Structure 1
Amino acid sequence: MSTLLRDARLADGRRCDVRVESGTIAAVADTADPAPADRVVDADGRLLLPGAIDAHVHFRAPGDAHKETWTTGSRSAAAGGVTTVVDQPNTATPTITGEAFDRKAELAAASHVDYGINGGVTEEWDPDSLLDRPLFALGEVFLADSTGGMGIDTDRFAAAVDRAADADVTVTVHAEDATRFDETARDSDAGEVGRDADAARWSQYRPAAAEAAAVEQAVEIGAAAGAEIHIAHTSTPEGVDAAADGGATCEATPHHLFLSRENATELGTYGRMNPPLRSEARREALWERLRDGTIDIVATDHAPHTIAEKETSLCDAPSGVPGVETMLPLLLERARRGKITYERVRDVTAANVADVFDLPAKGRIAAGNDADLVLVDPERTREIRGDDLHSKCGWTPFEGMTGVFPSLTMVRGTVVYEDGAFVGDAVGENVRG
């Protein structure tokens, strides 16, 4: 089926017609395309973006389907303009063996957007287990024992990075040095539950210095191996700068860009995540680095937990917040108000992500690329409400903020979301084949 998106406005301001045929972009014409098409979409000057690539999600399957599934998570992604996701390995059955990889791939077939599956490393990791599966494809390792028992020592990390370098793939690192955590802050639980808890204490427990130290260590080991290192969810300007100085790429999350410790009292346990929320000054410094290009990409670390699971004490609550559906809408609202350019939003959510993770058919509106497209009207805003979102967890840390949501999302030429409704069956494919 062919589709013609007529009179669309690209992020750089150009008005053009975009023709889609057989799942790819056939042409991008600055003048009107007169050829017939099976479907013509009158963009009428609305903004057309390449589908966002969220390089860091936790869709929770296998093992925790009560939090999220590939169906609910991918629909949430599509409703937020995300057309490709990369799922992380710290599920209930961690993705560290070929068997675990195959099991997750079976479940991912229910995805409404394209996907990558990260392999991980634990203390039990056997290098030989990676020989028959692309477990380092978009791979992730952790320097801190932060989530799902994925913590490893530096020797094991160095061995894994060596294998990644041999395979010529980028390694994503959760960089926090657990030896610098302040156990006294963690143990000072006053017993408050849910939103009555003070999430600022979690920031004291996992201080900013722990991030910068781990980033420096990770990039040093990566450089020695000749590996490409990508630092996940950098929450401090010091961490960002350490990554840039060491030749690594890095990402920032929406929650570290839009929330700070000033929101911790209101959020309580709903504001507990790893790395934690930082000071308002550090949040503003992240924005400066996002605008000037020091931060390479934005990724959500979408980590849903149920309301019941969050309604406990700060030390007992699970870490993580949902975000795959609100990343692009929040950034587009900031662009609408002139705080960041649409071109920069396009780059940090699509083009740069494709470059970092070697996805040449993704991330750009160009002839020959996958027709992953998102159509939005920047002047149509709406208040973000957890009840309106599609993640299974049913809440958002961005409650009450304003977002610009897509009117149409297309994955490889197939419309999967349009005017508030999901269209058709699951069409997602593994980006690594």
Structure 2
Amino acid sequence: MTTLFTNATLADGCVRDVLVEGETIARVADAGTLDTADADADETVDCDGKHLLPGAIDAHVHFREPGFAHKEDWHTGSRSAAAGGVTTVVDQPNTDPPTVTGEAVDEKATLAGKSLVDFGINGGVTAEWDPDSLFERPIFALGEVFLADSTGDMGIDADLFADAVARAAAEDTVVTVHAEDADLFDRAALERAGDGTGRDADVDAWSAFRTAAAEAAAVDRALEVGADSAADIHIAHTSTPEGVDAAASAGATCEVTPHHLFLSRENLDDLGTFGRMNPPLRSEQRREAVFERVADGTVDIVATDHAPHTRAEKDGSVRDAPSGVPGVETMLPVLLQEVRTGTLTLERVRDLVAATPAEIFDVAGKGRVDEGNDADLVLVDLDDAREIRGDDLHSKCGWTPFEGREAVFPELTLVRGHVAYDARGDGERFGDAVGENVRA
């Protein structure tokens, strides 16, 4: 299949013709240089007034399979990704079984054969991990390594963390860290929480419980251990400016989620326990400071920590509701809305969700609209914004913390030249499960 995109505005503002041959970007030329006859294209897409972007790489998702397919599975999660312009996802280890052995990685890779988008599988660390078999497999990175328990109860002690970091360094593998220090949690704050459920729960107690200081201390610890082993440390879902600054000062990398970027404790009255996540939402002042660091380049990437749970599960007390929110389908759309309002540039968004993730994690052939790269492409019309509605999204959980927020959704998503999602014309259609392991 050969597809010619004409008059496409790229992230840098240049208008180009882009020729896709099979799974690869064959040519990128000045607009008007290529025509259908010369390119011998099977399809020509006129992109006049629209932007053609590299597919996003979401370096942090929980597609829940195996073990929790009632929340999400590889088919529904990848459909949601494709509809949001995400063409590569990286799945985390806290499934059942957790991916802490080579055999568990193999099992998950088989299930990922249902994916519409490309994928990576992270290896995890528990007391039962088997590093020899794990590193024999094509894992994407080591992590999310949990320094405090979250969904899946995979928190580990200091000695095991140091051993795991040293092994990863020897294997030249990035370590992604969930940085919270449970010794600095404010348990009295949680004890003061009421017994309400859902939107009536005192969910702010969760933010008071899992303190900002707990994150800052764990980031410092992770960076120190990483320095001892000369390991590449990546701090996951950094929720505080202190954590971002510490990572940047140490030469490590970090990610910020859309929910920490656009939501704060001020939103919890509306969200209730649907706004409980780890690390929790922070103050509006901290949220604004994190956004500033995203805009100015201090934050390396945005990733979603897509962690879906059913409505029934989330509608519990602040002590019992599981932590996590969906986000893989809304990450790029909410960032594109910031481009519309002028708070972020399109080049910055490209770097946050595509170019820089590809560089940090050494994902060859992805992240930019360049000749020779995989044809992971997303066509968007920045003039076509709409409100986010959970009922319109494709995650199995069927809800979103961004209900009612303006966003710009893709009208076409290609994964290695294959149509993964197409909303042009009436309705929408999804492609086949063509996703491949980017490390295989």
Same fold judged by TM-score > 0.5?
Answer: yes
1:418 aligned to 2:422? yes
Partner Cα separation in structure 1 for residue 86 and residue 72 of structure 2: 16
1:391 aligned to 2:398? no
Per the alignment, residue 313 of structure 1 pairs with 317
Q: CA deviation at 1:31?
A: 3.6
Of 171, 178, 184, the residue aligned with 1:180 is: 184
Per the alignment, residue 253 of structure 1 pairs with 257
Per the alignment, residue 16 of structure 2 pairs with 16
Q: Which amino acid in 1 is paired with 2:436?
A: E
Using the TM superposition, name which of 38-47 and 66-75 deviates more. 38-47
Q: CA deviation at 1:154?
A: 1.4
Q: Which amino acid in 2 is paired with 1:319?
A: S
SS state at 1:44 partner: coil
Q: Which ranges in structure 2 are unaligned for 5 or more consecutive residues?
A: none
Partner Cα separation in structure 1 for residue 142 and residue 318 of structure 2: 32
Partner Cα separation in structure 2 for residue 108 and residue 143 of structure 1: 27
1:258-407 counterparts in 2 under 5 A?
A: 258-407=262-411
Per the alignment, residue 28 of structure 1 pairs with 28
Per the alignment, residue 105 of structure 1 pairs with 109
Contact 2:384–2:408 under 8 Å retained in 1:
yes
Using the TM superposition, name which of 318-327 and 181-190 deviates more. 181-190
1:429 aligned to 2:436? yes
- 1:371-414 C-alpha deviation (Å, 9 max, x unpaired): 00000000001100000000000100000101000000000011
Q: Which amino acid in 2 is paired with 1:278?
A: R
SS state at 1:158 partner: helix
Q: Which amino acid in 2 is paired with 1:422?
A: R
**% identical aligned pairs:** 70
Q: Which amino acid in 2 is paired with 1:104?
A: K
Per the alignment, residue 133 of structure 1 pairs with 137
- Change in CA separation of 1:88 and 1:375 when aligned onto 2, cut-off 3 Å: same
Partner Cα separation in structure 2 for residue 239 and residue 197 of structure 1: 28
Contact 1:96–1:135 under 8 Å retained in 2:
no
Per the alignment, residue 151 of structure 2 pairs with 147
Contact 1:24–1:371 under 8 Å retained in 2:
yes
SS state at 1:109 partner: helix
| RMSD across aligned positions (CA) | 1.1
Contact 2:141–2:176 under 8 Å retained in 1:
no
Q: Which amino acid in 2 is paired with 1:426?
A: A
Contact 2:151–2:322 under 8 Å retained in 1:
no
Using the TM superposition, name which of 116-125 and 232-241 deviates more. 116-125
Contact 2:20–2:27 under 8 Å retained in 1:
yes
SS state at 1:151 partner: coil
Contact 2:122–2:144 under 8 Å retained in 1:
yes
SS state at 1:210 partner: helix
1:71 aligned to 2:75? yes
SS state at 2:114 partner: coil
Q: Which amino acid in 1 is paired with 2:439?
A: R
Of 77, 99, 104, the residue aligned with 1:95 is: 99
Partner Cα separation in structure 1 for residue 422 and residue 134 of structure 2: 40
Q: Which ranges in structure 1 are unaligned for 5 or more consecutive residues?
A: none
Partner Cα separation in structure 1 for residue 106 and residue 322 of structure 2: 27
Q: CA deviation at 1:138?
A: 5.4
Per the alignment, residue 3 of structure 1 pairs with 3
1:202-221 counterparts in 2 under 5 A?
A: 202-221=206-225
Contact 2:193–2:202 under 8 Å retained in 1:
no
Q: CA deviation at 1:303?
A: 0.2
- 1:37-96 C-alpha deviation (Å, 9 max, x unpaired): 111111113011100000000000001111001000000000000000000000121110
Q: CA deviation at 1:144?
A: 1.1
Q: Which amino acid in 2 is paired with 1:294?
A: T
TM-score normalised over the length of structure 1: 0.98
Partner Cα separation in structure 2 for residue 300 and residue 237 of structure 1: 18
Contact 2:6–2:31 under 8 Å retained in 1:
no
Q: Which amino acid in 2 is paired with 1:304?
A: P
Q: CA deviation at 1:131?
A: 4.5
Contact 1:123–1:151 under 8 Å retained in 2:
no
Partner Cα separation in structure 2 for residue 292 and residue 170 of structure 1: 24
SS state at 1:125 partner: coil
SS state at 2:136 partner: coil
Partner Cα separation in structure 1 for residue 135 and residue 361 of structure 2: 20
Q: CA deviation at 1:99?
A: 1.1
Q: CA deviation at 1:135?
A: 4.0
- Paired residues, what number? 433
